[in-house]
Amino acid sequence: MKSWTNKGPFPGPRRGPGKQPLLFTRPDRNMESCSHTTAPAVSVTAQPGICGFNCEITACLSGRRKVMVTIAASECKQVQRLAGELTEITVKELFLPFSRNPVYQIAEKMGCHSSCLVPAAVLKAVEAAMGMAVAKDAGIHFQCAKTDSRQGSKGS
């Protein structure tokens, strides 16, 4: 089992002779460079659902244990307010429980719906920017049962 340590720029598994953090080793379609640093940026598109207010989230490492967050391209007023308030997340904040996590606290304060996927997408992007998660698609897919219009009728 790999051990986790808080030494270095990120907590996370170490590897190799220089004990470098395990990071992305190749550019990905979700990664680009940040304007203020050479660290890779992680970009995600959040598709919250029936509201249709998709948004773009970019997370970029800005210090040893901080990530800058940009939320853009959403027509949702609550997400726009969230974007104005949420600009940075620390590694410590990333692992706080829901009730104390600043992403969820700010989302609640800004009036985001409790089932909105944007706060979770922000946290996923931050994890990937810190090298703590692989940039991989996530989602919720409904399997709706097909209803028979004859069901419930007492025919013949």
CA distances from 60 to 127, 142, 147 (A): 10, 32, 46
pLDDT digits (tens, 9 = 90+) for 41-96: 999 999 988 899 999 999 999 988 999 999 999 999 999 999 999 999 999 999 99
pLDDT at residue 32, as a whole number: 57
| 8 Å CB contact between 40 and 129 | yes
The domains of the chain are located at: 23-129
pLDDT digits (tens, 9 = 90+) for 112-149: 999 999 999 999 999 999 999 999 999 998 899 877 66
pTM of this structure = 0.71
